[in-house]
């Protein structure tokens, strides 16, 4: 019987979730907590099969919660359960090893389906989340730093590891012009080197 643990700071929501799950004879509720400070220990002791994890909790956020659980018991499936659609947090959770991502607007039946799905080795995601996840593989291009088209070209080459000289040759402009573009890019990204620019660009899905 799948063992389930809930981390959720909203008392009302947590209790009603726990109540709902307890009414399902096919699950075993082995714990519910209003914070994830002790998630590591709890995970080691109770060995849950599925963890429902809220993101926005006082103290350690659920993003750390995922880490605590996964580091101590990788085979436990963690489903994020949150109101937020925040892109940054979403990707942090995924990188921390979350196995699913359901929005709190998810009706109880879909929640049960999701639990079944992670147990079966799947990855339940609310439709809007799934779409964002797939989108992250292609578009990106938030360009929140207002790079000009030319600067984006230069940044692409920079990311490919090109030196200023190679960029100049590739775009058929002078060495100093290439360097001028680079300097402007660094200013806009608030960094002081090409290496930082590459890290920021790839990390924040700018290109």
Partner DNA sequence: TTCGGTATCACTCAAATGAGTGAGTACCCG
Partner DNA sequence: CGGGTACTCACTCATTTGAGTGATACCGAA
The token duo for 52 is 């429902």
Cβ 144 to DNA, closest distance in Å?
14
Which member of 173, 199, 204, 207 binds DNA (CB under 7 A)?
173
Cβ 140 to DNA, closest distance in Å?
19
Is residue 198 involved in binding a second copy (CB under 8 A)? yes
Write the CA distances from 104 to 9, 120, 159, 206, integer angstroms. 13, 22, 38, 29
CB neighbour list of residue 111: distance below 8 Å, 6 or more residues apart:
81, 102
**x/- map, 68-107, a second copy, by CB under 8 A:** -----------------------x--xxxxxxx-------
Which segment (1-9, 29-37, 168-176, 189-197) binds a second copy by CB under 8 A?
189-197
Which segment (83-91, 107-115, 133-141, 162-170) binds DNA by CB under 7 A?
162-170
Which segment (72-80, 107-115, 120-128, 176-184) binds DNA by CB under 7 A?
176-184
Nearer to a second copy, 18 or 129 (CB): 129
The token duo for 189 is 């990204």
In angstroms, the first-to-last Cα distance of the chain is 45
Which segment (13-21, 46-54, 83-91, 171-179) binds DNA by CB under 7 A?
171-179
Is residue 176 involved in binding DNA (CB under 7 A)? yes
According to DSSP H, which parts of 47-174 are helical?
62-72, 87-96, 108-119, 127-135, 149-159, 164-171
Closest CA to 81 of 32, 43, 47, 120: 32
Is residue 180 involved in binding DNA (CB under 7 A)? yes
User: Phi and psi for 164 in degrees, rounded to 5?
Assistant: -55, -40
Q: Sign of torsion, CA 25 28 31 33? A: negative
Which member of 16, 135, 142, 163 binds DNA (CB under 7 A)?
163
Cβ density class 69-101: b for 16+ within 10 Å, e for less: bbebbeebbbbbbbebeeeebbbbbbebebbbb
Binding site for DNA (CB under 7 A): 146, 148-151, 163-165, 171, 173-177, 179-183, 186, 192-195
Chain residues that interact with a second copy, rule: CB under 8 A: 91, 94-100, 117, 120-128, 130-131, 133-134, 137-138, 158-163, 191, 193-200, 202
């Amino acid at each position: 019987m799948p063992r389930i643990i809930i981390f959720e700071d909203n008392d009302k929501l947590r209790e009603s979730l726990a109540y709902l799950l307890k009414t399902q004879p096919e699950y075993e509720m082995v714990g519910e907590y209003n914070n994830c400070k002790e998630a590591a220990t709890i995970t080691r002791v109770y060995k849950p099969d599925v963890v429902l994890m809220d993101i926005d909790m006082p103290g350690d956020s659920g993003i750390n919660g995922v880490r605590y659980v996964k580091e101590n018991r990788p085979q436990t499936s963690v489903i994020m359960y949150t109101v937020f659609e925040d892109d940054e947090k979403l990707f942090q959770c995924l990188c921390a090893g979350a196995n699913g991502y359901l929005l709190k607007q998810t009706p109880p039946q879909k929640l049960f389906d999701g639990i079944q799905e992670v147990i079966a080795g799947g990855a339940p995601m609310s439709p809007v989340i799934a779409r964002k996840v797939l989108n992250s593989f292609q578009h990106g291009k938030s360009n929140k730093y207002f790079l000009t088209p030319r600067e984006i070209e230069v940044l692409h080459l920079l990311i490919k590891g090109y030196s200023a000289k190679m960029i100049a040759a590739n775009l058929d402009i002078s060495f100093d012009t290439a360097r001028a573009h680079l300097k402007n890019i660094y200013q806009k990204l608030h960094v002081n080197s090409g290496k930082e620019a590459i890290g920021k660009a790839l990390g924040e899905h700018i290109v």
